Structure formats: structure tokens, C-alpha cells
Copies of this chain bind each other. A is one copy, B any other.
Amino acid sequence: MSAAATRATGQDHLWSVDEHLKDILATVRPLEPIELNLLDAQGCVLVDDVTVPLSLPPFDNSSMDGYAVRVADVEGASEEFPAVLTVIGDVAAGSADLLEVGPGQAARIMTGAPLPPGAEAVVPVEWTDGGLGGGPVSAMPARSLSPEGATGQVRIHRPAEARAHVRAKGSDVKAGDLALAAGTVLGPPQIALLAAIGRGTVRVRPRPRVVVMSTGSELVQPDEELTGGQIYDSNSFALTAAARDAGAIAYRVGAVADDAETLRSAIEDQLVRADLMVTTGGVSVGAYDVVKEALTSVDVGDGDGDEGEAGGGVEFRKLAMQPGKPQGFGLIGPDHTPLLALPGNPVSSYVSFELFVRPAIRTLMGLEDVHRPRTSAVLRADKVLTSPAGRRQFLRGTYADGVVTPVGGAGSHLIAALAQADALIVVPEADTSVEPGTEVEVVLLG
């Protein structure tokens, strides 16, 4: 009997789901940071604290479209007895060379424009005659159409306190403040802040590149013709989509035939673009389970002179779990790339992805929160659910408002029911049945 066969048959120990997950998360390390353009860093984790290099706003500026005035000039102003000021010109947003506002003068000013020297407050245009000599206006005419608006006189209908409608320099953030802490996930508002303080690039952990490879000589690509004994490859599609959903850049490699040499060569080819490899199928106890065969029969590329070869460091286990009993995990190739070898049944591979691959991807990203949320729910079912003793069972269900309802049976080939589910119902190892109305743990698939 060969060494591979001995190894394959010598393990009756059942590992728990938690032991397997712990081993994966103890091995997979966050990716090395890289500097990315701001928009390419969306969804990524910031590696360093970012401090503010310049205060925001960088200068006192107007929060309104209106007139920059001296407080004394508008004291006691009303619509009946307006303060009449000479308009010395416009201060638009982006203006650099600023007019000085002297006594009896006003500058027409736009939102965001710097408060000109001499001015102490801004009066909104709605509290003036807009320079038109009538009652209060609701807007300024466009400069390009009415250039005369920047000249002449303006009647101010209300007084202004010092600093009214002025945003002070540094009132948002001050130079030296912490803008964002290391570990922050960059969503739109965080990207806004980084741009606002002038950061065009940022150091983050990149999205992991995940290669998804299905195996099985029975697999045919969708849209092709099925002949006897064949089925369509669905795992490579499902897990590529799931990897993208988890935050990865995913590459699909569909349906490698059940031949160890072919598989080993396909894996070696893909390693160059993989931060994580995921295979489906070929991990159980059959005579054609080539993933197991290919990855347990060669040396690990760990600097022993065998670095061109993939494989070796992968351990195959049986887990106390249903579906998803057979699982493989290890490091392969010269870069010790993590590989998760999932079972081939569609539901098994998908559940395994959610439990093991998703947390691995999110760990590579440097995220703290790597797991799907869980909650408790009341089981609504028309009969008792049964579960094998000593196995943690993950049934498919739909969750809403604290109630979970199973969809489909326990069979790991039931793809149609999986497509209706948005939750996994967890039945602990010790339980062999669950009565309707019982409180159960639920994994929300989101």
C-alpha cells in the first residue's frame, strides 16, 4: 500500500469546526501593505494612523453667499433703515488676492471663499437688496450675466455679530490631529476626509487575489452540452462570486479533470496570481479524489530545493460537521500560499466557504471583523429537525424578524434550496433533533 493511501486511510479522528477554523486563522496572515490611489483603496484597511497635515478649513471662509462686512457698519440695520455699503468687488471661492474691506465697504462673497481682510462677518444675500435697490432678494444674479453686481451699493437689512457665517480655520480638524486610526476600513466618508486633507494615495492592505478552482471529470461548463454522467460546474462560479462578495479579487479556474498531474500543474500555474487558493472536490475518501492525492504526495516548496513544486503542506481532515466533513488546508508553493481544499458537493463547498474561506479572506485584508454575523432565532418548522450525533449541522434557512424557517432538506446537493436561503441554522454537535419553537443559533448570510 502506498504512503498516500496509508495517510488517506489512517485518520479516523474528527476535528471540530472550531479547531479547523482556529488552525486556519492562526496560519493566514494579513497581506503586506501597499500604497494605493484613494479610490482603489475603497473597502481596504488603513495600516498606519493618518494625521492631519493642514488645518481644515485652511482659512477662515464664508458659510453663505452674501456680503463680507465690518460689524460696526451694519449695527442696528433693518429693512426700514438699511446699512448702505459700497461694494468693492467679489470674493469667489478660490480667490487668492483679496480686497481689503474698509469702513463703509462690503465685498460680495461666495460660500467657501476666504473672508477678506477687514471683514468681520458675513451677511447672507437674503438679508440684503442684492445691490438691486429694491426689497430683499433670494439669490445673486450670475456674475457672467450681471457683472455689475460686484459694484455699486448694497443695502443690508440686518446687523451681524462678529464671526457670523464665518467658518473658522481649523474648525473641522487641526494640523497634527489624528484623522483616521490604523485599522479603519475606508468607506466613502473616510475617503472624503483623506482627500480633503490632500492625501491622493494611502497605505492599506490590498484586496487578496483568490484563485477558485473546481475539480472533477464530470464537470461541464454552462452553455455546453451535457452527455451521460456529466453535470454543470457550479462551484467555481458560486465561490468566485462569494470571494468577491467577501472583498477579494477573484479568478475563476473552472473544472480541472480528476488527474493528479493535471491538477498539480494547474495549481502551479495559478500560484503566481494567488494570495489564496481555493479548490472544490477531490478531498474525500474516493479513489479519484485527486486534490488529496496531488497535494499530499509531493514535498512542500519550503526552500528544500523543491520550490518549483506546488503541494505538500496540505493536511486533509474529517470535521465533525454536516455538510462539509472532508476538508483540506495548508500552505503550498514557494511563497507558502494558503490553500483551502473544500468538498465538491455544491452545498458543502458553499457552507465551507462561508465558515472557513470568508474569514481567511478577511484576515488577509487585515479586517478585525472576519465572521458573518450570528443571531438567535426561533425555529419555525412543521416537523422536528434531525441532525447526526456528534456533528455540527448547518441547515439552510430564511431569517426574518427573529424567526428562521428551514428551506430544503439536509442533502448537500440541494442547490435550489440554497438559492432561497439567507441564513444557516446551526445545530450543535450534541443535539440530534430540534423541536419547532426552539431558540436556535443562526448565521446571517447577508
Interchain residue pairs with CB less than 8 A apart (11): A1-B141, A5-B139, A5-B142, A58-B226, A90-B287, A96-B227, A98-B229, A143-B288, A189-B415, A192-B418, A200-B222
Check B179–A286 contact: CB distance below 8 A. no
Check A172–B238 contact: CB distance below 8 A. no
Given that A126-B285, A192-B238 are known contacts, is A232 also in contact with B39, CB under 8 Å in the complex?
no
Report A269-313 residues with CB < 8 Å from chain B CB: 284-290, 292-293
Q: Could you say how many copies of this chain the assembly holds?
A: 2
Check A195–B222 contact: CB distance below 8 A. yes
Interface size on A, residues (CB 8 A): 127
Pairs A-B, 3 closest by C-beta atoms: A94-B218, A5-B141, A200-B223
Within the complex, the shortest CB–CB distance from A206 to chain B, in Å, comes to: 17
Chain B binder among A8-16, A154-162, A327-335, A380-388? A8-16
| A1 closest partner in B (C-beta) | B141
**Residue A26 at the chain B interface, CB threshold 8 Å:** no
Report A183-197 residues with CB < 8 Å from chain B CB: 187-197
| A241 closest partner in B (C-beta) | B188
Check A232–B288 contact: CB distance below 8 A. no
Chain B binder among A71-79, A105-113, A367-375, A435-443? A105-113
Check B93–A198 contact: CB distance below 8 A. no
Check B416–A231 contact: CB distance below 8 A. no
Question: Measured between alpha carbons, how far is A188 from B288 in the docked complex, in Å?
Answer: 27
Check A222–B198 contact: CB distance below 8 A. yes
| A177 closest partner in B (C-beta) | B416
Question: Measured between alpha carbons, how far is A445 from B112 in the docked complex, in Å?
Answer: 27
Question: Measured between alpha carbons, how far is A189 from B230 in the docked complex, in Å?
Answer: 21
**Residue A99 at the chain B interface, CB threshold 8 Å:** no
A12 CB contact (under 8 Å) in B65, B138, B285, B415: B138
Chain B binder among A17-25, A343-351, A425-433? A343-351
A142 CB contact (under 8 Å) in B95, B132, B287, B414: B287
**Residue A100 at the chain B interface, CB threshold 8 Å:** no
Check A146–B1 contact: CB distance below 8 A. yes
Q: Which residues of B contact A292 (CB under 8 A)?
A: 142
Check A416–B286 contact: CB distance below 8 A. no
**Residue A393 at the chain B interface, CB threshold 8 Å:** no
Question: Measured between alpha carbons, how far is A445 from B172 in the docked complex, in Å?
Answer: 21
